[in-house]
Amino acid sequence: MIAIEQLRYVRLGTPDLAAATDFAQRILGLQIVDKTPDQVFFRSDYRDHTLVYARADKPSCAVALEVRDLETLDAAEKALAAAGYAATRGTAEAAERRKVKHFLSFADRSGNVFELVVRPLQSGWRYFPARDAGILGLEDIALRSTANGAEEALWTKVFNGRVSDWVGEAAYIRFDDAHHRLAFHPSSRGGPLAIEYAVEDVDLLMQNSYFLRAMQVRIVDGPGRRPSSNQLFLTFAGPDGVLFSYVAEGAKIADEEKHRPRQFAKNRRSFCAWGSDCEIPELQG
Identity of the residue, 161 or 223, whose beta carbon is nearer to another protein in the bound complex: 223
Query: How far is the CA of 241 from the CAs of 107, 157, 237, in angstroms?
Result: 20, 31, 7
φ and ψ of 189, to 5 deg: -150, 170
Q: Is 94 in the site for another protein (CB under 8 A)?
A: no
Identity of the residue, 146 or 207, whose beta carbon is nearer to another protein in the bound complex: 207
Using CA atoms, how far apart are residues 23 and 12, in angstroms rounded to an integer?
13
Piece of 38-46, 84-92, 202-210, 256-264 that binds another protein (CB under 8 A): 202-210
Q: Is 226 in the site for another protein (CB under 8 A)?
A: no
Identity of the residue, 160 or 207, whose beta carbon is nearer to another protein in the bound complex: 207
Q: Is 276 in the site for another protein (CB under 8 A)?
A: yes
Closest-CA residue to 157 (of 48, 68, 84): 84
* 115 three-state secondary structure: strand
Number of residues that bind another protein (CB under 8 A): 16
Listed in sequence order, the residues at least 6 apart from 56 whose beta carbon sits closer than 8 Å to its beta carbon are 13, 14, 15
Identity of the residue, 81 or 215, whose beta carbon is nearer to another protein in the bound complex: 215
Report, in Å, the least distance between residue 208 CB and another protein: 9
Q: Is 239 in the site for another protein (CB under 8 A)?
A: no
Using CA atoms, how far apart are residues 249 and 198, in angstroms rounded to an integer?
9
- Out of 107, 113, 273, 280, name the contact with another protein by CB under 8 A: 273
Report, in Å, the least distance between residue 111 CB and another protein: 35
Report, in Å, the least distance between residue 29 CB and another protein: 14
Piece of 27-35, 67-75, 205-213, 238-246 that binds another protein (CB under 8 A): 205-213
Q: Is 156 in the site for another protein (CB under 8 A)?
A: no
Report, in Å, the least distance between residue 231 CB and another protein: 12
Identity of the residue, 187 or 209, whose beta carbon is nearer to another protein in the bound complex: 209
Closest-CA residue to 138 (of 20, 275, 9): 9
Q: Is 203 in the site for another protein (CB under 8 A)?
A: yes
Q: Is 206 in the site for another protein (CB under 8 A)?
A: yes
* 99 three-state secondary structure: coil
- Out of 69, 96, 176, 277, name the contact with another protein by CB under 8 A: 277
Sign of CA dihedral 34, 128, 45, 108: negative
- Out of 81, 83, 202, 265, name the contact with another protein by CB under 8 A: 202
Burial of 115 (0-12, 13-18, 19+ CB in 10 A): buried
Q: Is 207 in the site for another protein (CB under 8 A)?
A: yes
Cβ atoms of 89 and 104 closer than 8 Å: yes
> Between β-strands 170-174 and 162-167, what pairing exists: parallel, antiparallel or unpaired?
antiparallel
Report, in Å, the least distance between residue 278 CB and another protein: 11
* DSSP secondary structure of 132-199: ---EEEEEEEEEEE-STTHHHHIIIIIB--EEEEEETTEEEEESSSBS-SEEEEE-SS-EEEEEEEEE
Contacting positions for another protein (CB under 8 A): 202-203, 206-207, 209-211, 214, 223-225, 273-277
